[in-house]
Amino acid sequence: MVKKSKIQTPDWILKGKESPKVKKIGKLFKVRKCPKCKKDVRVAIGEIGVWECSKCKWKGKNPNEEELDEEEFMKYLDAKGEEVA
Ligand SMILES: [Zn+2]
């Protein structure tokens, strides 16, 4: 049986690139979350600078920002179950 780690450092981190959704500040990663339900927000399509929450339909320009260190960030990615690319 091949043991595969679920938590992997995404390519863009290894290459020192930034994701449009996540900002890297030194050793911290800044992620944006919905101020209402604390879920991830995404850029609203067709609206510049506007974020929206797919869970509760919150929309606005100032989502909550959370700073995570690399370990916390990996857990965050793992919990999300999707790659931030
Ligand atoms: Zn929400």
For residue 47, the CA-to-ligand 1 centroid distance in Å is 18
Q: What is the pLDDT at residue 20?
A: 64
Helix (H) or strand (E) holding 77: helix 70-80
Distance CA 67, CA 40 (A): 13
**Residue 82 or residue 73, greater confidence:** 73
Q: What is the pLDDT at residue 6?
A: 67
For the stretch 34-69, pLDDT in tens is 999 999 899 999 999 999 999 999 999 999 999 999
For residue 49, the CA-to-ligand 1 centroid distance in Å is 17
pTM for this model (two decimals): 0.62
For residue 15, the CA-to-ligand 1 centroid distance in Å is 31
Distance CA 59, CA 54 (A): 9
Q: What is the pLDDT at residue 10?
A: 75
For residue 24, the CA-to-ligand 1 centroid distance in Å is 23
The pLDDT of residue 4 is above 70? no
Distance CA 78, CA 74 (A): 6
Q: Exposed, middle or buried, 20 (CB in 10 Å: 0-12/13-18/19+)?
A: exposed
